[in-house]
Amino acid sequence: MVNALSIDLEDWFCAYNLSSVIRKVQWDECELRVVESTTRLLDLLDRHKARATFFVLGWIAERVPALIREIEARNHEIAVHGYNHLLLTQVAPGEFEHDLHRALETIRRSGIQQQVVGFRAPSFTIVEKTMWALEILERNHIKYDSSVFPIGFHPDYGIADAPLRPYKITEQLYEVPLGCVEILGRRVPCSGGGYFRFYPYWLTKRMIMLSNARGASVVFYLHPWELDPGQPRMKIPLTKSIRHYYGLAKTGKKLEKLLNDFQFSTIKEVLGL
């Protein structure tokens, strides 16, 4: 079974866990490391003949447009992650639509040829109280969203009773939820990111195999900064520090195993669009 690999294309300082110590107005003062980490990732995907969907942050596309063209040239899907990494739970609809439109225009101006049809909200913040965003996505010609985490235990995101497989969330818009598997009546994420860094590899592998055996593809995600153990270390609260920095040195080797054990393509292809 073909699973979907997704990359949230942002740099280390864009992460929400660091927002208390690095404000958006300070981003231009930070060391830009995304080109090197993404190139390393692209080379790894080439070696394993894997394709991925890159949810591009507009702020990144504006500063390194050649990187976005390189991603497309290597046969990956370009999707959108907003411009300023705004959490939908913290903005009004008008601000979100302005941010989305700016991101789409910036990505278009980077010189890519494909049409952007996919969206992922920063920190997966399509939740029950932000369903207003779906109409805005439709209005901006987005065909699928991949922001819903079908879990109920996380303090910042999740819809506990959301379907585990892709579904029509509106008449015009597909929802492609992040990968979770039910074990003994509980939903457990097997979708990457911090979960991938925390779990032993064998556990991630078993859960993806279980999901595939039940007939469901898994939507897996990572950030380029998760392959960058040399990134600057900021003094942040312990829980956020663990979430951001734990296991960075091992992510590359784990990902190599994952690409050996499973077949991955773009969300657009897995969805059949």
Q: Could you list the mean pLDDT of each consecutive 10-residue stretch along the chain, which spans 273 residues? A: 97 95 96 97 97 98 98 98 97 98 98 97 97 97 97 92 96 96 94 96 97 96 97 94 95 97 97 92
Q: How many of the other CB atoms lie within 10 Å of CB of 144? A: 22
pLDDT of residue 241: 95
pLDDT of residue 204: 97
Domains with residue ranges and CATH for the chain? 2-267 (3.20.20.370)
**pLDDT tens-digit series, residues 172-226:** 999 999 999 999 999 999 999 999 999 999 999 999 999 999 999 999 999 999 9
DSSP 3-state helix, strand, coil percentages of the chain (rounded to 5)?
A: 45, 15, 40
pLDDT of residue 129: 97
pLDDT of residue 26: 97
pLDDT of residue 155: 83
Distance CA(29)–CA(117), nearest Å, equals 32
Residues recorded for the chain: 273
Distance CA(53)–CA(222), nearest Å, equals 11
The encoded tokens of residue 61 equal 């596309």
pLDDT of residue 156: 86
pTM, two decimals, is 0.96
**pLDDT tens-digit series, residues 184-196:** 999 999 999 999 9
Distance CA(162)–CA(258), nearest Å, equals 26
Residue 157: exposed, middle, or buried by beta-carbon count in 10 A (0-12, 13-18, 19+)? buried
| Amino acid occupying residue 109 | R
State the pairing for strand pair 219-222/2-9.
parallel
- DSSP-derived secondary structure for 209-235: HHHHHTT---EEEE-GGGG-TTSPPP-
